[in-house]
Amino acid sequence: MIISSVNQKNGLKKIGVFHQSRNNINDQSCLHFYMEKGKVQCSKEVDIQVINYTTQLNERNHGIIDQSCLQEMSVTIIGLGSGGSPIALDLIRCGVTSLNLIDFDTVSISNLCRSPYDLFDIGRKKTECVYEKALRINPCVNIQLYDEDVLNMESEKLDHVLQNSDLIIEATDSIKTKILINGLAYHSKPIIYPSVYDMGKGGDILFTIPGLPCFECVFKSIIKDLKETKKAEWDYTTGETKPMPALLSDIQVVVARAVKIALAILTANTEKSFIEKITEPSCSLLIIGNEKGLYLFDRPFQEVWAETQINPKCSCQTLA
Ligand SMILES: [Zn+2]
């Protein structure tokens, strides 16, 4: 059992190891806790709060999802913007303990209106900020940080990260990145691609599992259009992409669905599997409408699973 003290004043990582007695405590790199006179004692003088993470943290998820399965799983999240950052923290709250986080960006004040970042995070790496927030939820998490642009990552390193993941969530708004990840990991790993469109009026979530249609199978026809849209969103004054405005409340709908689909894929082989209860046969694209009149939606707050098919001419078939 690991016991931690999460102390606002002194920081986050007062993580320690529990021993049955004071004997054999030599390592000074972390705090040590032991039983003495019927009470938990600490190797240093700190205020401690005893938390058993294996039971208490997941008390209110109990019976719904296989926690022991989640603790064995590793999820890679590419992009820690308004989609990727809450997805990462929601997965930690749900019981995932191992993440790889890839993002080169820093937090700016414009991120605050629709993501979990706050004033203390401004100017800091998004990876580090999400890591710290995750530690405040569960100090026992195992998170690897990659502060780099996934498009410039050394290919062996990226491949190693992807192939050691049980699920990949591609949460950037870059078509180039989506195509890269599709090419590298489609045949071996499940991937989720959440997107928000039209200033948050709608969005979609594609998931791919080896054997189902890949990203290019589904989006080939509109990839060109999406690239054109990206050009329109390019800010020539700063040379940077201009993120599309969208309300947090609209983004959160897509985030919530993406998290549920992620949990369903991660626990698909357990007794408590619910993947068939939240998906439709032959469908891997969830289309979400937050407002009336968008796409095929004639009522507000509608969503529908769309049928998807493998394109026999797609590179996933011809190069397989
Ligand atoms: Zn394909």
**What pLDDT sits at residue 133?**
92
Is residue 36 included in any domain, yes or no? yes
Inform me whether the pLDDT recorded for 118 exceeds 90: yes
Does 23 lie in the same domain as 65?
no
The mean pLDDT of the chain is 86
Q: Could you give the number of structural domains in the chain?
A: 2
Instruction: Tell me, in angstroms, the distance from the centre of ligand 1 to residue 316's CA.
Output: 4
Inform me whether the pLDDT recorded for 216 exceeds 90: yes
Does 162 lie in the same domain as 27?
no
Q: What is the CATH number of the domain that holds 105?
A: 3.40.50.720
Inform me whether the pLDDT recorded for 224 exceeds 90: no
Strands 202-208 and 191-197: antiparallel
CA distance 134 to 34: 26
80: DSSP letter: -
Q: What pLDDT digit, counting tens, does each position of 249-267 carry?
A: 999 999 999 999 999 999 9
Is residue 53 included in any domain, yes or no? no
Instruction: Tell me, in angstroms, the distance from the centre of ligand 1 to residue 319's CA.
Output: 10
SS3 state at 125? strand
Nearby residues for ligand 1 (ion, Cβ within 5 Å): 214, 216-217, 314, 316
Does 23 lie in the same domain as 114?
no
Does 15 lie in the same domain as 109?
no
Across the strands, what pairs with 19?
A: 34
Inform me whether the pLDDT recorded for 32 exceeds 90: no
Instruction: Tell me, in angstroms, the distance from the centre of ligand 1 to residue 233's CA.
Output: 27
Is residue 47 included in any domain, yes or no? no
Instruction: Tell me, in angstroms, the distance from the centre of ligand 1 to residue 280's CA.
Output: 20
**What pLDDT sits at residue 1?**
43
Is residue 140 included in any domain, yes or no? yes
Q: Which pTM was predicted? A: 0.84
Between the alpha carbon of residue 46 and those of residues 33, 41, 102, 197, the distances in Å are: 11, 10, 34, 49
Does 130 lie in the same domain as 36?
no
Does 87 lie in the same domain as 17?
no
Strands 240-241 and 234-235: antiparallel
Instruction: Tell me, in angstroms, the distance from the centre of ligand 1 to residue 240's CA.
Output: 30
- Domain region containing 16: 2-42
Does 26 lie in the same domain as 163?
no
**What pLDDT sits at residue 3?**
47
Does 214 lie in the same domain as 181?
yes
Is residue 54 included in any domain, yes or no? no
Does 79 lie in the same domain as 8?
no
Instruction: Tell me, in angstroms, the distance from the centre of ligand 1 to residue 196's CA.
Output: 22
Instruction: Tell me, in angstroms, the distance from the centre of ligand 1 to residue 165's CA.
Output: 21
Q: Give Cα 209 to chain centroid, integer Å.
A: 17
Does 231 lie in the same domain as 177?
yes
Instruction: Tell me, in angstroms, the distance from the centre of ligand 1 to residue 97's CA.
Output: 31
Tokens 């019981």, residue located: 95
Over residues 208-220, mean pLDDT? 94
Does 160 lie in the same domain as 15?
no
